[in-house]
Amino acid sequence: MLTMHVGIDDTDSPRKGCTTYVATLLVEKLSQLGVSFIDYPNLVRLNPNVPWKTRGNGALCLRFRCDEKLANEIMELTIDTVEKNSDMDCAGTDPGVVFFQGSQVPEELTFFARQTIQGLVKLQEALKLIRAVKAEALGFNSGRGIIGALAAVGETLSGDNTYELIAYRVPENYGTPRRVDAASVERMNQKTAPLTFNNIDTEKRRVLITPHGPDPILYGIRGENPAIVKRAHRMVRALEPIERWTIFRTNHGTDAHLRWVDSIDAVFPYQSVIVSGTVTREPQVIPRRHVVFSIVDKTGQIDCAAYEPTQDLRKAAQLLIVDDVVEAFGGVRPKSGKCPVTINLEKLNVVKLAPKVVFHNPVCPLCGKRMESMGAGQGFRCKHCGFRSSTLKKETVEEKRLLKTGLYVTSPRSQRHLTKPFSRYGLEKSGKSVRMASNWFWVNG
């Protein structure tokens, strides 16, 4: 028996397909061949800030044990399934498949996966590593999908991880509005949250489990374990047929993309970072109602932007003042036109509030009314009794801050797949062990 890891990425295009669906088909076909899976299919979201991302930027890995004699057949079956279900004719769809045999995933693959989830890697690096660890890879078109496929093999989700049950539509419904009973999603949310997350946008009462594109997904339910997403799935009333469903183990909602950066001069475009600094420029509301402010440390200065759809986060950003200490979480956007390198905020941790000091004119010592300034350095005059003074000074008053320290997160509807929502704080796992439920991959298959 040998252990095999099959990574797949970038089979979809903006007009059709979904790599999770290709993986689902492959799970069924491999099961028929008699392989035995050692993990749920892994759905690994990669750095959402890379310039060439596919929709959602998710790569897949299937891990199983099989008879050595089956290895060739498995590879052929995989390639065939990817070819038949990828949108190969679409420019920018560059599928990649990686095969790795071994009971242990080498450390350098895990390290490579981290780089791919948090930063930028080149196809050359992936190809070099594939040779080094004796994996095999196939690239279609430009082959860029090999990067994600290799990363999916390398990311064994041994740290914090979550699950997603994805239900698929029948092909005749692709591209039509999704029909799911919203009230049933509300009920499911009430019964299963916070063990499930991002089901509903509580602010706008909008269902978040259904995507909007032409892809085959009817809905996806995210949660902490396989049992809860399966239970939640049974509570949701679909008003159209479900072709099949699969439970994936994922890095959704784990902040896996964010990397602590020690100093502002180490922040580079396309990374996903957490960096701390002191507010050095008051927030400004710029066209289309974004809020932009700057933070500084000993090494440099950088802009941070909170976008309109990010709601609470944007409101908090607007209340910052110079000298507040914050941690900025988000993707780094490169310089473009007049805009400098900017962190697009996903989260903001307000660590320390600076005192907000306001200056008032002194009170008249004779009549007790507020005096007025006669100009810079000219002293004060009371317009009620006529008293003048060149020695009185402005009073300093500390005003109450409306902003509170703490973490502010984008609203669920604008969260990335990888963003850890508020509801998951405290639920993180180091989950080394994976228990397989029976009957986990499909219905009406």
Nearer to Zn ion, 387 or 441 (CB): 387
Which member of 384, 393, 394, 429 binds Zn ion (CB under 5 A)?
384
**By C-beta, is 65 or 388 nearer to Zn ion?**
388
Query: What's the min distance (Å) between Cβ of 416 and Zn ion?
Result: 60
The smaller minimum CB distance to Zn ion, of residues 370 and 413, is found at 370
Q: Considering only residues 157-186, where is the footprint of Zn ion by CB under 5 A?
A: none
Backbone angles phi, psi at 244, to 5 degrees: -165, 165
| Min CB(386)–Zn ion separation in Å | 7
Structural tokens at position 296: 């500084």
Q: 123-132 vs 145-154: helix axis angle to the nearest 10?
A: 50
Alpha-carbon span 249 to 401, nearest angstrom? 43
| CA gap 234, 240 in Å, rounded | 14
Nearest to Zn ion of 335, 383 (CB atom): 383
CB of 279 to Zn ion, least distance (A): 39
Rg (CA), the chain: 27
Work out which of 133, 279, 292, 382 binds Zn ion, going by CB under 5 A.
382
Smallest gap from residue 390 Cβ to Zn ion (A): 15
SS3 of 40, please?
coil
Which 8-state DSSP code applies to residue 416?
-
For position 383 contacting Zn ion by CB under 5 A, the verdict is no
CB of 396 to Zn ion, least distance (A): 21
> Using CB under 5 A, which of the segments 32-40, 305-313, 337-345, 380-388 binds Zn ion?
380-388
Over the window 339 to 378, marking each residue x when it contacts Zn ion by CB under 5 A and - when it does not, the resulting string is -------------------------x-xx-----------
**Closest distance between Zn ion and the C-beta of residue 381, in Å?**
9
Token pair of 182, please?
Answer: 């919203």
Instruction: Please give the distance of CA 143 from its chain centroid, rounded to a whole number.
Output: 25
Tell me how far, at minimum, the Cβ of 371 lies from Zn ion, in Å: 7
Q: What is the distance between the alpha carbons of residues 422 and 410, in angstroms, rounded to a whole number?
A: 9
Least distance to Zn ion, CB of residue 354, Å: 34
Q: Which is nearer to Zn ion, 321 or 392 (CB)?
A: 392
Binding-site size for Zn ion (CB under 5 A) equals 7
Nearer to Zn ion, 390 or 433 (CB): 390
* Cβ 397 to Zn ion shortest distance, Å: 20
Between 84 and 393, whose beta carbon lies closer to Zn ion? 393
Longest dimension (CA), the chain: 104
**Nearer to Zn ion among residue 191 and residue 388 (C-beta):** 388
Shortest Cβ 376–Zn ion spacing (Å): 21
CB-based burial of residue 430 (10 Å sphere; 0-12 exposed, 13-18 middle, 19+ buried)? exposed
Instruction: Write out the E strands in 10-57.
Output: 36-37, 42-45
Classify burial at 87, counting beta carbons within 10 Å of its beta carbon; exposed 0-12, middle 13-18, buried 19 or more. middle
Q: Which residue lies nearer to Zn ion by CB, 350 or 364?
A: 364
Q: Are 232 and 9 in contact (CB under 8 A)?
A: no
Q: Which is nearer to Zn ion, 158 or 373 (CB)?
A: 373
Q: Which residue in 55, 445, 109, 397 sits closest to 245, CA to CA? A: 445
Give the C-alpha separation, 143 to 123, whole Å: 8
* DSSP element (H, E) containing 79: helix 71-85
Going by the DSSP 8-state scheme, the letter that residue 238 receives in this structure is: B
Q: List the one residue from 37, 174, 270, 387 that touches Zn ion (CB under 5 A).
A: 387
Q: Which of 239, 339, 357, 385 binds Zn ion (CB under 5 A)?
A: 385
Chain position carrying tokens 């002194």: 362
Q: Which residues bind Zn ion (CB under 5 A)?
A: 364, 366-367, 382, 384-385, 387
